[in-house]
Structure 1
Amino acid sequence: MFQKGLKDVVAVQTKIAAVEGNKGELRYRGRLVEETIANHSFEETAYFLWTGEFPPDDRSEALKLQFVKYRSLPPYIQMIAEELPREAPLMDKMRTLLSAYYDQEYLSLPPVVQAVALTSALPVMTAMLYRLQKGKEIIAPSNQLGHTANYLWMLNGENPADAQIEALETYLKLTMEHGMNASTFAARVTVSTESDMVAAVTSALGTMKGPLHGGAPSGVISLLEEIGSAERTQSVITRKLEGGEKIMGFGHRIYRTEDPRSILLRRKCLELQGSDPWLDLAVDAEKQITQLLNERKPGRALYTNVEFYAAAIMRSIEMPPELFTPTFSIARIVGWTAHVIEQQADNVIFRPQSEYVGN
């Protein structure tokens, strides 16, 4: 039976993640996402998605050191980066650098270590390309910082505040994986031909660039900037609703209840209350906007999606819009590589049929 876009067609059985839209649940390896990420670092959460278990206490530090090791890129990567057109989109340049990633040792690494290497390398490439694009000097990675803090360090050359690290790391952990989305499917199709992990992730990056998939929360940032302060929320939203405008950051095509990722990001913003005015504004604005939507559109159940609080976090750390989708990719590479490992372990090439409808 023909299903345009393969909508609702089951093509993969997976143990990595489950998205339960009607229940408002996201599970990593069978565990609710809030239980999975609690008290675990980016590196530990990634390892859990790759293997189905957290590293033992005596291996956790070794895992972090492994991430640090693969921040060192082959020298030719910077040479390529410096030759790329400054005006080219960051996602295009990230795809080019990642596709060129190669060294003899990498080919002999176990799949999970290959995943560590690529996950560690991508933010280094991204920060390098961003600073070159802005005409700034490249900043070397720090061996003393964790994965998230090092990314912020390489972007700005300043030690990030603890609140910035906590907020961004929560976002990265929550967006590592989200089922059989377009980029994940692209990765699995590529590796199903017995191609390699680098090629699969390159395919995924190309897919993520499309605005229907990796679209940035810039519309939410514009909304928060227009509101500016809690006192203006009601007047701004009322005017937009009366004008028939869509309120950015509300509603999700999969979740019929609250997006569990939004709930957890809100909780993190509440924990950090008073540490950043943009996080405070987002929490207050959500309350007022939800109330107005319920009054004017009863029964619609319009809740915040992950983009709403992602926007607040990106704005609080002063991340420019051109880095939103690249940063999303830095998180989602964990899911891509987990699916590559799973596909390799029980591989059948994807070969759907087409139906000819021409003359």
Structure 2
Amino acid sequence: MDKMMLRAAVLLILSGHLGLCVGEDILSPGPLSGAVAGLVKFTTNLVPPKNPFLSVSWSFKGLNIITSTSTNTTQPGYVSRITLDRATGGLELRNLVLEDSGEYTVTIIPHEGPQKQGKTTLTVYAPITGATVRSPVAVLIEERSSTNLTCEASGSIGSRIWMKDGRPLHPSSRLSFSADNRTVFIQPVHFSNHGTYQCRVSNPVSTMTVAHNLTVNFGPHNISIIGPSAATPGQRVMLQCTADSVPLANFNWMFNGNETRVNNSMYIIERLGLENIGNYTCSARNMVTMLENSTMLNLRASCTAPCWSFSVLVISAATLSVLK
């Protein structure tokens, strides 16, 4: 054994049994994270000295994995997986496996001064893969149905975060989460629950987001008729019926209480005349929820200049009716 090796061995023995002074932690702040099959670098805050360290030793969970003096002694299982930076005492560990998680300790003996030591913890994670969101196959109807969404994934799951239409999802009187955030419960469903749900599964080395469209059949709600309540005689008038509904509602129209042949959302009067003045009722029906709602618009003639001739027609028609 040469003098350098002998000195290093003596210092290691003395530091262990006589409690020689150990400086501050020389490793960069941790803990460290690594991915299965990836690599991690344990770096020190030491500047390479003029004279090489007498000894650099690394241990894992208290068991030595490599010691370097004038030669390197590496434990089986680490020979092809580690590289030691003799200048700074840093270590690179490759082809990580889950079992590499734990505490690592480095002990360095310089030519001068007390030995230096550092400790840090490594956690190895399996990357997230195969994330999915599933829910029971069912036709969901507002206020009548309940459901749940479950987020599954492979790998080392650190956290699950739920969003709806790109915004964070929060508990409410209808919505709750399982203890591990794996499942969202909705009891009963509301039209506001209709939309796209995202589950983001992550750990310190990987993230995966998956989306699921939830269909809640609802409505028709907020039915209304878009169009003028007064129009100039002779002009073209368009009335449009709208309603919030999933699936889309079926529409039909009535004029002054009588059914018409119009069964879509648009009611078009090509040229407004006396016979078109009155009440227009639009009914919207959802063929899944079997609910129906209606609204009415009173269409009248506006009193602009052309309205005089229109009024004359109205009076004349009335007069003729009386004469008969």
TM-score normalised by length of structure 1: 0.17
Give the structure with higher Rg (CA): 2
Higher helix proportion: 1
TM-score normalised by length of structure 2: 0.19
